[in-house]
Amino acid sequence: MTTSTYTVTGMTCQHCVGAVREELGRLPGVSDVTVDLDSGQVTVTSTDPLSTDDVRAMVDEAGYALAS
């Protein structure tokens, strides 16, 4: 099990949090996504390490951006 933390910019409300959680939850092997709206910190738990490009693509898909 791997846990990684990312910073996502642009989330302003709990609907945004839900959109990010939903998209990241679609990545294979992801079992948990925790989002802290105030800080933009997103913690993803997965069976194997995730590709940052995949995470970035899903965050983009939700309408937000991964801080570099």
User: Is the Cβ of residue 25 or residue 29 nearer to its own copies in the bound state?
Assistant: 25
- Cβ distance 18 to 6 under 8 Å? no
Residue 24 host element (H or E): helix 14-24
The stretch among 13-21, 22-30, 43-51, 53-61 that binds its own copies (CB under 8 A) is: 13-21
The pair of structure tokens assigned to 21 is 């959680």
Q: Give the chain's end-to-end CA distance (angstroms, integer).
A: 24
- Secondary structure letter of residue 13 according to DSSP: S
Judged by CB under 8 A, which of 1, 12, 53, 68 binds its own copies? 12
Nearer Cβ to its own copies, position 38 or 53? 38
1 near its own copies, rule: CB under 8 A: no
Binding interface with its own copies (CB under 8 A): 12-16, 18-19, 63
